[in-house]
Amino acid sequence: MATGRTHRPATRSRGIPEATVARLPLYLRALTALSERSVPTVSSEELAAAAGVNSAKLRKDFSYLGSYGTRGVGYDVEYLVYQISRELGLTQDWPVVIVGIGNLGAALANYGGFASRGFRVAALIDADPAMAGKPVAGIPVQHTDELESIIRDNGVSIGVIATPAGAAQQVCDRLVAAGVTSILNFAPTVLSVPDGVDVRKVDLSIELQILAFHEQRKAGEEAAAEVTAQAAAVPATTREESATDQGPDGDVPAVMPA
Amino acid sequence: MATGRTHRPATRSRGIPEATVARLPLYLRALTALSERSVPTVSSEELAAAAGVNSAKLRKDFSYLGSYGTRGVGYDVEYLVYQISRELGLTQDWPVVIVGIGNLGAALANYGGFASRGFRVAALIDADPAMAGKPVAGIPVQHTDELESIIRDNGVSIGVIATPAGAAQQVCDRLVAAGVTSILNFAPTVLSVPDGVDVRKVDLSIELQILAFHEQRKAGEEAAAEVTAQAAAVPATTREESATDQGPDGDVPAVMPA
DNA sequence: TTTTGTGAAGAACTTCACAGCG
DNA sequence: CGCTGTGAAGTTCTTCACAAAA
């Protein structure tokens, strides 16, 4: 995503490639599942399959963290879980605020995976006075007026924006001014932030449009293929247009009214 | 994302880079806004700023679509909107089904941006019999039993999975078997699909973890910087760790119980 | 022998910088 | 003269393929 990370002697941090960072959570999830099944070790091949990536890529990714594997054996599951968690900063507590408690905001507040890994919903904030006090996911919604004090009092550095597009930039500005330096944006807007602030976006309509693009191509190729292969009954499953990748390619999606 | 797109003489399609495809929706959104303000033309510089990208990148992106600009002038807004829409396949109707009408599914169903660009919620599907018939966003929820017939009857090729992780693969298999070839997955699971099926994922917890990684680094650098710059009062906004990128770097996020 | 860790090759993407069209 | 379109250079990411550790 962002990061201008240039220069700086690197106080030891080997500068993990961004693409690798983006995959660590994936590995962590797969490893956690193995851990729960009490599997002691995995090979790069097995873990790669579980995470849906190529094993060489996985090994290279891990090589940026250090040499945590054992040749001829594989990786110790528990140990790797710990190392990746530490690398991602999940061994500490991250209070998070969610701003905009509409359908989506409520869904996010109810999202179980939040608490699971270091993240804690510190507060839910909404501009609608009628919402104030109403509990969502067991947490009382607070009014936007309190945004600054909430952030400061709880030492929040990560904010989630789930407001309509029109309000997003303004909310963003207030979050940043109050001290938030990482933002997850679900509103379909490009946010502008000062240097030093990270923004990631999640945009449903962008994702759908990307799918539509490929879908359209498939339709075209099908028609072309019909001419070539006529009724040659090729198992539709072995066509050349693959797609098991599921992630690291382009943008991220956004959710909310356009 | 996916796509194994190798070989094939290319029936004229210049094979637009995946990274470019992922940005087209962004440009389209910016252009639509300009169009609504009746702005007739934009320069690559202006449009790039609105979309949050570098202008050279934007020009190169557009060059894959053709030469739609006028030197010395810029791009015709309406014309570009049309060309990009066509390229993305948004000039046709895309019926979509959403499976799993929990908090998130409901939020997605209510998402306004859906209808806006060619997408139409053809059906809402949930496994809970108690949900059946209940309208969400004005559309009655149907039971999973009807999944196959719904897909076939409506010619659905795009499916959205918003179920808990445990059900996702099974739902995916049924969608694919029924003819869906593009899937947007909000469940925190790696889906396996046959070749020819595209999967994109949206994963909240992955996004948060990526943010946490950078956040942690910032904290470290801050400490390091304190030693170097002591109380040298550097405007916190000009630090080296930037981040206005907002997207195309790593993975995509997922939403649902881990 | 199995499986890691990694140089080196390759592919994809980004950015530069400028020729050339309008 | 302004701004697009694009070769070429630069950067990042992926994949190969194999030496070496266990």
Helices and strands in chain A: count of H runs, count of E runs: 9, 10
| Å: A192 CA to C17 C1' | 27
Q: Which nucleotide is nearest to B21 (CA to C1')?
A: C13
Report the amino acid identity of residue B218: K
pLDDT value at A257 more than 90:
no
Which chain B positions have a beta carbon within 8 Å of A2's beta carbon? 214, 242-246, 249
Q: How far is the CA of B106 from the C1' of D2 (A)?
A: 50
User: For the residues A227-243, what does the mean pLDDT come to?
Assistant: 39
The answer to whether the CB of B148 falls within 8 A of the CB of B178 is: yes
Per-residue model confidence (pLDDT) at position B197: 97
What would the mean pLDDT of B61-76 be, rounded to a whole number? 97
**Protein-contacted bases of chain D (C-beta within 7 A):** 1-7, 12-17, 20-22
Residue type present at position A47? L
Give B141-161 pLDDT, tens digit per residue. 999 999 999 999 999 999 999
Q: What is the pLDDT of residue B117?
A: 78
The answer to whether B39 contacts chain A (CB < 8 Å) is no
Reduced to 3 states (helix: H, G, I; strand: E, B; else coil), residue A202 is coil
H or E element: which one contains A119? strand A119-126
Q: In sequence order, what DSSP letters do the residues of A3-16 get, joined into one string?
A: --------SS----
Q: Higher model confidence: residue B7 or residue A221?
A: A221
Query: For the segment A159-216, what is each residue's pLDDT rounded down to a tens digit?
Result: 999 999 999 999 999 999 999 999 999 999 999 999 999 999 999 999 999 999 999 9
B162 neighbors B230 (Cβ within 8 angstroms) = no
**A219 — pLDDT class (breaks 50, 70, 90):** confident
CB pairs under 8 A between A and B: 393
> In terms of pLDDT, which residue wins out, A240 or A31?
A31
Which of the nucleotides lies closest to B61 (Cα–C1')?
D5
| Assigned architecture for domain A94-203 | 3-Layer(aba) Sandwich (3.40)
Chain A residues within 8 A of B242 when measuring between CB atoms: 2-4, 195-196
**Residue A184 in contact with residue A172, Cβ under 8 Å?**
no
Domain boundaries, chain B: 18-88, 92-258
User: Among A42-46, A250-254, B134-138, where is mean pLDDT lowest?
Assistant: A250-254
Q: Which residues, in sequence order, are bridge partners of residue A74?
A: A70
- Indicate if the pLDDT at residue B217 is higher than 80: yes
CA dist., res. A137 & res. B63, Å (int) = 48
Second CATH level (architecture) for the domain B92-258: 3-Layer(aba) Sandwich (3.40)
Higher pLDDT, A252 or A142: A142
**For A176, nearest residue in chain B (alpha carbons):** B237
Residue B113: per-residue pLDDT: 78
Q: Which nucleotides of C are covered by protein (CB under 7 A)?
A: 1-8, 12-17, 20-22
Q: Is there contact between A27 and strand C, defined as CB under 7 Å from any strand atom?
A: no
> Chain B residue with minimal CA distance to A25?
B206
Asked if the A18-88 domain carries CATH number 1.10.10.10, the reply is yes
Cβ < 7 Å from strand C, B residues 64-93: 70-73
Q: Mean pLDDT, chain B, as a whole number?
A: 85
